[in-house]
Amino acid sequence: MSEQTLPTTARAWHLDSRPEGRPTASNVSLREVDLPAPGPGQLLVANEYLSVDPYTRGRMSDKKSYVEPYEVGTPLDGSAVGRVLASNAEDFAPGDYVTHILGWRDYAVVDAPDAQKVDPNLAPLTAYLGVLGASGLTAYVGLERFAKIKEGDTVFVSGAAGAVGTQAGQIAKLKGAGRVIGSAGSDEKVKLLVEEYGYDAAFNYKNGPVAEQLAKAAPDGIDVYFDNVGGEHLEAAIGALKLHARIVLCGMISQYNNETVVGPRNLWNLVVTRSDILAFNFAEELDLQPEFIREVGGWLAEGKLHHRETVREGLDSTLDAFLGMLRGENVGKMIVKL
């Protein structure tokens, strides 16, 4: 694409108002914006795939969090992968494929330090948003650095059919866990966890109290709880802990649309079992990324690690994809194809 034919406008989703409860179409809008030419050290990227992620809901609110909230009237963002159309940065050239964080739009001018070159010949581009991207790295960091899986551990993963959960259960097994249990929101997902992702047991949390179903799946208790859900799941896991167990807080999707967070009522059991609650942000643990790419890439190549994606078509479908992900409609990573 010559400089004369480079796009001069882009379409980007903007935050129009802060949601109260579950976001709706009234909170966001898709607008056309001017697209400047890339300056020194910048790239112009045509996005090909966008990621929608639970943390976006938190940033729509103005509550204190580990990431700054979006400003009302400004574009949303998130992980994306695309092709470089023009480059004013060393080490990047037109035709390169990169991941970056200016998603929720079709074109983006990206600062070179915020872009990472990826090879479409080593893995499909969508993999760099999921199993080899932030969700895969999140699962890996949580288990490798914080849960510190020991041989024979019993591990419970909530939200196990999502982008992080599907990887967490498999990685735990590959790291030596003796028994891995998952929860999901449908019988179909439960079947998938056991038959495709190698979970030893799984249950549909809508079929009865989580604590009762977890007790049946792990009658001797659990050593590790990888929490993607919070709420009832977290309380049930605390009640099932063995001595010196580890709870890794990754996300609490059951709470994201609530104005008041529901906390567990049995924290005393942490004292009884001398267990740890550990929280992390994968972006602060990027020193593990080369090891992650090497190890997880190897498992993928050997067929030891499986992943799925739920793909929606078109920039216009981004909001629906996001809301569907919050409702649990995805299996594996939710992605938008432009």
Query: Which residue has tokens 């992968």?
Result: 81
- On whether both 26 and 161 belong to a single domain, the answer is no
Region 85-96 average pLDDT: 96
Q: Are residues 148 and 67 in the same domain?
A: no
| Closest C-alpha among 266, 223, 263, 215 to residue 243 | 223
Number of residues that make up the chain: 338
Helix spans in 7-54 (H): none
Number of independent structural domains in the chain: 2
User: Which pLDDT tens digit goes with each residue over 41-62?
Assistant: 999 999 999 999 988 998 999 8
> Mean pLDDT, to the nearest integer, of 171-192?
97
Tokens, residue 85: 């159309």
What per-residue confidence (pLDDT) applies to 2?
44
Same domain, 41 and 148: no
Residue pair 40/55 in contact (Cβ under 8 Å)? The answer is no
Residue 252 lies in a domain: yes
- Please report whether residue 169 resides in a domain: yes
Assign residue 147 a region (left: φ > 0; alpha: ψ between -120 and 50; beta: otherwise): alpha
Q: Does 121 lie in the same domain as 155?
A: no
Query: Do 159 and 241 share a domain, yes or no?
Result: yes
Residues 261 and 171 in one domain: yes
Please list, in sequence order, all residues whose beta carbon lies within 8 angstroms of the beta carbon of residue 333, skipping any fewer than 6 positions away: 51, 126, 129, 130, 131, 133, 135, 163, 307, 308, 309, 310
Q: How does pLDDT run across 197-222, given as a tens digit for each residue?
A: 999 999 999 999 999 999 999 999 99
Q: Cα dihedral sign for 307, 310, 314, 320?
A: negative
Look at residue 42 and tell me if it is in a domain. yes
- The tens digit of pLDDT for each residue in 287-329 reads 999 999 899 989 998 999 999 999 999 999 999 999 999 898 9
The answer to whether residue 121 sits within a structural domain is: yes
Q: Is 91 helix (H, G, I), strand (E, B) or coil?
A: coil
Please give the pLDDT value at position 65: 72
Average pLDDT along the chain: 93
101 and 165 in a common domain: no
Is there a single domain that holds both residue 193 and residue 105?
A: no
Task: Flag whether 294 is in a domain.
Answer: no
Is position 301 within any domain?
A: no
Same-domain check for residues 327 and 258: no
CATH code, 121: 3.90.180.10
pLDDT(4) > 70: no
pLDDT for the residue 260 = 64
Q: Residue 67: its pLDDT value, please? A: 78
Based on the fold, state whether residues 51 and 82 are members of the same structural domain.
yes
What is the pLDDT at residue 1? 43
Task: Encode pLDDT of 99-145 as tens digits.
Answer: 999 999 999 999 999 999 999 988 899 999 999 998 999 999 999 99
Q: With a cut of 60, say whether residue 333 has pLDDT above it.
A: yes
Please tell me the predicted confidence (pLDDT) of residue 256: 57
The answer to whether position 219 is within a domain reads yes
pLDDT of residue 253: 67
**155 and 220 in one domain?**
yes
Residue 8 φ/ψ region, left for φ over 0, alpha for ψ in the -120 to 50 degree band, beta for the rest: alpha
One-letter amino acid for residue 266 of the chain: N
Verify that 164 and 123 share a domain, yes or no.
no
Residue-number span of the structural domain to which 194 is assigned: 134-283
Question: E strands along 220-299, which residues?
Answer: 222-227, 241-249, 276-279
Q: CATH code at 259?
A: 3.40.50.720
**Averaged over 17-31, what is the pLDDT?**
94
The reply to whether 293 falls in a domain is: no
Q: In the predicted model, is pLDDT for residue 259 greater than 70?
A: no
